[in-house]
Structure 1
Amino acid sequence: MAKLRIGTLERLRQVEGSVESRLNRVRKRSFTIIQVAVAAGLAYWVAQELFNHHAPFFAPITAIIILGLTGGDRIRRALELSMGVTVGVGLGDLLVHYLPGGIWQIPLIVAISLTVASFLSKSPLVSNQVAIGSILIATILPPGTEGGGPDRMIDAFIGSVIGLATIALLPSSPLHSGRQEVSKILGIASSVLDDVAGTLDHPDVQALDEALEAIHNTQPDIDRMISAAKVGREVSNLSPLRWGARRRVRSLERILPAVENCMNNTRVMARRALVLSQDGDSVSTRLVNIVDELADITASLSDVFDTRTEANEATDIPELVRRLQVIGARAGMEVISKDGVLSEYVILAQTRSITADLLEVCGWSRQSSLAALAPTSRTPAYPPEVWPGIHEED
């Protein structure tokens, strides 16, 4: 029976529209809402009750901004934010008092604020907050209003501290988002590889066009994967409740370059398969089978990272490694057709690269991953670890 193949775009639509995917988004959104609500309320209460500030709106605003930051650098950016708001508020009080009123006051305040901020830090966040703080003081809360002066600067600091404390005491999972992003990228790569294998077996230019369209739009997914891993590392460092996950967070970060390389190599293979199909050329059945097997292994790895427990990894990863070793040992020059064209050689080279990438995703070092490949040079950089007889077809 012929293998049922689903196009890359169709698979992406199925994944994005699945009930599980929607539930994950709802859970993540709900947790974020709880975090922000608790932080804003607590920051306001601390500033009002413990510091006796009448209208400490800078405290909850700063806490919300801290929790809204992404990319895993919230501690550094919280300090930048505190400095920016503090300097902006203080500078606004000073400038509004000494500068003449009128239409030129705001442009002058912004220009002076940005100039001062440029000497304090290169961070755009600091510059923006200094300018925004000065504008707020000049337009909404001019000097003399209740809660002005140093109180506003203290409120900004309180909000930053409460925001970071919320991350530490109400932490999200340091691994879940990163693993989900890895799973998504591997799922896309698997689907594209499946389309490539199908086209190499039965030429289908339209299927490859759709696959290339999908894979060309994956850079935001890669960026989200890297950002999620950084956030996970930050959470595991900041929250005592998540210190036990530090080892697994480091392991996840180590495989990210291999996941990105796998996606890039899959993109190159798909382009070359399209050229081969347009030229009307073909490849050997053995090479088609290798690409098809890589698609299946990548899909299985995607499923492994889609789970939250280590149980699946302990049982599935060793089997996937064994299958990748078999592919690496078989992906030698002998799989090329007798009258093989350039595109066939390129596709073979990409299967070897993807095999090494996936072994790295499974936890192997780069050197060991390359050594698992059948040698194509008389003087390979890494001595081959080819199993005797494994290159023969079963």
Structure 2
Amino acid sequence: MPNPVPKQASYAKSRIHEGWMRLQTKWFYILQVAIAAGAAYWAAHVVFGHDIPFFAPMATIIVLSTTGGERFRRSVELVVGVSLGVGLGDLIIANIGSGTWQIAVAVGIAIALGTFIDRSVLLANQAGFASVLVATISPPGSADGIERMTDAFIGGVVGLIVIGLFPESPLRAGRREIARLMGITSNVLRDVAAALHSGDIIVIRHALQNVRGTQGRINNMIAATKTGEENLSVSPILWRQRGKIRSLKRILHPVDNAIRNTRVLARRALVLSEDNDTVSEEQIAIISELSDIAAELERLFEGVDRGHEVMPQLINRLRKLGSRVGLEIAEGRVLSAQVILGQSRSIIVDLLQICGLSRKSAAAVLRPTSQHPAQPPEIWDMDIED
């Protein structure tokens, strides 16, 4: 009977490593939240004289935990939702009394009105919470409801102030997610190239499975960039990085396209292999080269390589690839091979855009497949020097 201890120890070690990596990624956010929560409590308790300002640090945590560039909106939603709930709770409970059905009526009306005012779930929920507070803990007309509303405002404002005074780099999170997506692209293309050479269908299936699980990464990349934009608007310390965040935002779509085109290429490679068909050695070499370039981009966005030195080299390599992806390398091959060629061409364009070229300039690198291409070729047939 196999001993389960080594497997359990390996699992525990993996979990500890993953937890440590998450802490390394989130340490600045943890510091932000800790400072903001303490500052919000102090402001509400000492400056405003609230005895138990529990909602001030809670509001701060809600604001800071929001991603995707919505912290301003969440701060407003907190204040509006609490104000709405306190006002309705006072009005309704003062007239119909407090009890089981009265709470149900107050909460229902508060959430319905909050939903009517805005689509935000947070606003509607806060209106419901505040109405429950008035109906149970704080009698109508008491100061507790007003203090809760003030605490929500204090927490939201303190959260935004902390973002401004202790801003996280608007580039770090977005670049990290782009690097991960480029790493996935590189690994999948590498595995597909090797499997097309060896005919190993299982390897292609695994590669396809890996690239199918990337939507969460793409969402993280977009959210990180939006949060970076908001950090720029809050913190004057970061205003000098506006150009860099605009450049980062510009390549989000090409990164997304590169992942999608890689997914289609892997899917078609699986179909081709299952049909016992083949592609040319030149096609395999091109896919392998694309994998290497994606790996270099991963290193660049992780900050390992110096972009001003590496990027021109990558552009030159991609231009050379563009001159090689003509119809002749898939001539006489089945439809799946033709599709793989088309996806390879698309990935070349995507990676060139990630390197800084416009879509038109990137498309002009490709060897034309039409007698009258919409985008005239510019350099595909030139002798490009290293």
- For normalisation by structure 2, the TM-score amounts to 0.91
Of the three residues 242, 245, 251, the one matched with 1:249 is 245
Distance 1:242 1:23, change over 3 A: farther
Identify the residue that residue 7 of structure 1 maps to in structure 2: none
Alignment partner of 1:123 is 2:120? yes
Q: What CA distance in whole angstroms lies between the structure 2 residues aligned with 1:62 and 1:313?
A: 40
Q: Deviations over 1:36-89 (max 9, x none)?
A: 121111111111222222222221111111111111111122112221122222
Q: What amino acid sits opposite 2:364 in the alignment?
A: A
**Tell me, which stretches of 5 or more residues in structure 1 are unaligned?**
1-16
Alignment partner of 1:113 is 2:124? no
Q: What CA distance in whole angstroms lies between the structure 2 residues aligned with 1:241 and 1:149?
A: 37
Contact 2:232–2:242 at 8 Å: present in 1 too?
A: yes
Q: What CA distance in whole angstroms lies between the structure 2 residues aligned with 1:191 and 1:211?
A: 8
Aligned 1:237-386 pairs, distance under 5 A: 237-307=233-303, 312-337=306-331, 339-386=332-379
Q: What amino acid sits opposite 2:311 in the alignment?
A: I
How far does residue 228 in structure 1 lie from its aligned partner after superposition?
A: 0.7
SS of the residue corresponding to residue 377 of structure 2 reads coil
Q: What CA distance in whole angstroms lies between the structure 2 residues aligned with 1:330 and 1:129?
A: 60
Identify the residue that residue 29 of structure 1 maps to in structure 2: 26
Contact 1:182–1:305 at 8 Å: present in 2 too?
A: yes
Q: What amino acid sits opposite 1:354 in the alignment?
A: I
Q: What CA distance in whole angstroms lies between the structure 2 residues aligned with 1:62 and 1:240?
A: 24
Which range moves more in the overlay, 126-135 or 166-175? 126-135
How far does residue 184 in structure 1 lie from its aligned partner after superposition?
A: 0.5
Q: What CA distance in whole angstroms lies between the structure 2 residues aligned with 1:295 and 1:149?
A: 60
Q: What CA distance in whole angstroms lies between the structure 2 residues aligned with 1:36 and 1:201?
A: 51
How far does residue 93 in structure 1 lie from its aligned partner after superposition?
A: 3.0
Contact 2:167–2:235 at 8 Å: present in 1 too?
A: yes
Distance 1:263 1:118, change over 3 A: same
Q: What CA distance in whole angstroms lies between the structure 2 residues aligned with 1:237 and 1:275?
A: 48
Distance 1:22 1:124, change over 3 A: closer
Q: Deviations over 1:316-353 (max 9, x none)?
A: 1110000000001111112114x211011000000000
Identify the residue that residue 6 of structure 1 maps to in structure 2: none
CA RMSD of aligned residues (A): 2.2
Contact 2:134–2:145 at 8 Å: present in 1 too?
A: no
Contact 2:177–2:221 at 8 Å: present in 1 too?
A: yes
Distance 1:50 1:183, change over 3 A: same
Of the three residues 12, 37, 49, the one matched with 1:52 is 49
Q: What CA distance in whole angstroms lies between the structure 2 residues aligned with 1:281 and 1:390?
A: 33
Which range moves more in the overlay, 36-45 or 130-139? 130-139
Q: What CA distance in whole angstroms lies between the structure 2 residues aligned with 1:19 and 1:303?
A: 25
How far does residue 21 in structure 1 lie from its aligned partner after superposition?
A: 7.7
Identify the residue that residue 9 of structure 2 maps to in structure 1: none
Q: What CA distance in whole angstroms lies between the structure 2 residues aligned with 1:19 and 1:362?
A: 36
Q: What CA distance in whole angstroms lies between the structure 1 residues aligned with 2:15 and 2:200?
A: 27
Alignment partner of 1:162 is 2:155? no
Q: What amino acid sits opposite 1:273 in the alignment?
A: A
Contact 2:365–2:380 at 8 Å: present in 1 too?
A: no
Aligned 1:138-287 pairs, distance under 5 A: 138-143=135-140, 147-287=143-283
Contact 2:360–2:375 at 8 Å: present in 1 too?
A: yes
- For normalisation by structure 1, the TM-score amounts to 0.89
Q: How many residues align?
A: 373
Q: Deviations over 1:265-312 (max 9, x none)?
A: 00000011001101111111111110110011011101100117xx71
Identify the residue that residue 70 of structure 1 maps to in structure 2: 67
Distance 1:18 1:322, change over 3 A: farther
Identify the residue that residue 83 of structure 2 maps to in structure 1: 86
SS of the residue corresponding to residue 37 of structure 1 reads helix
How far does residue 387 in structure 1 lie from its aligned partner after superposition?
A: 4.3
Which range moves more in the overlay, 371-380 or 136-145? 136-145
